[in-house]
Amino acid sequence: MSGWSTGQYLEFAEERTRPARDLLAQVRLDDANHVVDLGCGPANSTELLVERFPQAEIVGVDSSHEMLDRARRRRPQCRFIEADIATWVPEKPDLIFANAVFQWVPDHALVLKRLCSRLAPGGVLALQMPDNLNEAVHVLMRETAADQRWAKHLASAVNARRALASPEEYYDLLKPGLSRVDIWQTTYNHPLAGGAAIVEWMKGTGLRPFLSLLESSDQELFLASYAARIAVAYPSRFDGKSLLRFPRLFIVAVK
């Protein structure tokens, strides 16, 4: 897969950061000495952690060199590590925070179980994941990929992400050995500047596995076909905006 584009990702920084704010609001820690931001990206979530825990040592972890370059410039007082979060082992943090990253990690439920075991006593694992594979933005992506022009090239991209487990499954896996596990779901409806803006949003995340497998000329054709479908599925409202419906799953686990 091609590298993450920080510019593309940050085009909708406010909308992407809002779930992180909502998640952090449910973290019941009065203080923390050691905080980890897993999948920190360009440090938009890291900034929230610095504001909440100004005295803590805050470590950002991400697999993207480009994202970490931006993060280091944005928050030079924090430490940033390039690593695979599926295998990286923290050292007894008070808080592990993960905003929209574990949906990309295969068998992530087992990774979450391992991370809970690495928390300090009373520590918290707080995460949110997009739960939107059944939304039109992804259904139409897969339909576009099924076109005979691209189907043989994009089969792996169709399976790049798997549907999340149910809240009951996460609870049963994580709760043993923990004092509390809180799970909830929120659906956001982001007003964006029409179907073209929705395509731009998806180019920063869900479309990446598809576009990375196509040559430049085919990328343009694929995007045009996808955009035509999006325009029908997300009509403009009275003010010219289109509402991007975006369900997310939240988990706060306390050791």
Classify burial at 241, counting beta carbons within 10 Å of its beta carbon; exposed 0-12, middle 13-18, buried 19 or more. Answer: middle
pLDDT in tens, 196-243: 999 999 998 899 999 999 999 999 999 999 999 999 999 999 999 999
Residue pair 230/137 in contact by the 8 Å Cβ criterion? yes
Q: What pLDDT was estimated at residue 1?
A: 37
pLDDT for residue 10 is more than 70: no
The fraction of the chain above a pLDDT of 70, given in percent, is 96
pLDDT in tens, 82-122: 999 999 999 899 999 999 999 999 999 999 999 999 999 99
Q: What pLDDT was estimated at residue 6?
A: 53
The fold of the 6-254 domain, in CATH, is Rossmann fold (3.40.50)
Question: In the structure, what pLDDT confidence band is assigned to residue 3 with cuts at 50, 70 and 90?
Answer: low
pLDDT for residue 249 is more than 90: yes
The fraction of the chain above a pLDDT of 90, given in percent, is 90
Which runs of E-coded beta strand occur in 141-213? Answer: 180-192
Give me the residue spans of the domains in the chain: 6-254
For the sheet with 95-99, list strands across it.
79-82, 57-62, 34-38, 95-99, 124-130, 242-254, 180-192
